Amino acid sequence: MKKLLFITACIQILLLTACHDFLSQYPKDQVYPTSTSDFNELLVGDGYMDAIKGTDIGPWLQVMDDDVLFVRTNTSKSTENNFYWYEPEPNTQSTWTALYKRIGVVNVILNEIDEFKDEPGDGYRKVKGEAHFLRGSNYYFLVNIYGQPYSKERAATELGVPLKLNAEIEDKRFQRNSLEECYQQIVNDLQSAVRLLKGLKSTTTYRANEMAARLLLSRVFLYQGEWENVIKQCDTILMDKSYSLLDYNTLTTTSNVISAKSPETIFTSGATTYTNTPFLPFINYYFRASEEILAAYSSNDLRRKFYFRGYSAYAPRKMLNTKDGSCSDFFLLRLPEVYLNKAEALAMLEKTTEAIETIQTLREQRVKTGTLEDLQLSGEELVNYIRNERRLELTFEGQRWFDLRRYAVCPKWPFQKEIHHPYYVETEIKGARVLRKYDEEPEFYVLPLPENEIVLNGGTLIQNATREQKSEVM
The SS3 assignment for 215 reads: helix
Q: Residue 276 pLDDT > 70, yes or no? A: no
Q: Mean per-residue pLDDT for 243-255?
A: 95
Across 253-274, average pLDDT? 90
Structural domain contains residue 456: no
Q: In this model, does residue 317 exceed pLDDT 90?
A: no
**Rounded CA separation 458/466 (Å):** 19
Residue 285 has what pLDDT? 62
Q: pLDDT > 70: what percent of the chain?
A: 87
Amino acid at 161: V
CB under 8 A, 24+ apart: contacts of 168-172: 168/111, 169/11, 169/23, 170/15, 171/18, 171/20, 172/18
61 lies in a domain? yes
Q: Is residue 337 part of a domain?
A: yes
Find the CATH number of the domain harbouring 344. Answer: 1.25.40.390
pLDDT for position 311: 55
How would residue 76 be classed by pLDDT, with cut points 50, 70 and 90? low
32-46, 53-67, 358-372 — which is least confidently predicted? 53-67
Residue type, 314: Y
Q: Does the pLDDT of residue 1 top 60, yes or no?
A: no
pLDDT in tens, 330-371: 899 999 999 999 999 999 999 999 999 999 999 999 999 999
Per-residue confidence (pLDDT) for residue 313, from 0 to 100: 55
Question: What does the pLDDT average to over 135-156?
Answer: 98
pLDDT over 90 at 321, yes or no: no
Find the domain containing 55 and state its range. Answer: 2-421
SS3 301: strand
At residue 209, the pLDDT reads 98
Asked if the structure places residue 263 within a domain, the reply is yes
Number of domains in the chain: 1
Instruction: Answer yes or no: is 186 within a domain.
Output: yes
Predicted structure pTM score: 0.92
- Report the candidate in 92, 70, 89 with the shortest Cα–Cα distance to residue 144: 92
pLDDT tens column, 358-405: 999 999 999 999 999 999 999 999 999 999 999 999 999 999 999 999
In-domain check, residue 429: no
Give the integer Cα–Cα distance in Å for 237 and 253.
30
Position 454 in a domain: no
DSSP 289: E
Report whether pLDDT(5) > 90.
Answer: no
- For residue 465, the 8-state DSSP code is P
Which one is predicted more confidently, 431 or 286? 431
* C-alpha span between 211 and 111 (Å, rounded): 25
Nearest to 435 by CA among 418, 459, 448, 416: 418
User: Is residue 145 included in any domain, yes or no?
Assistant: yes
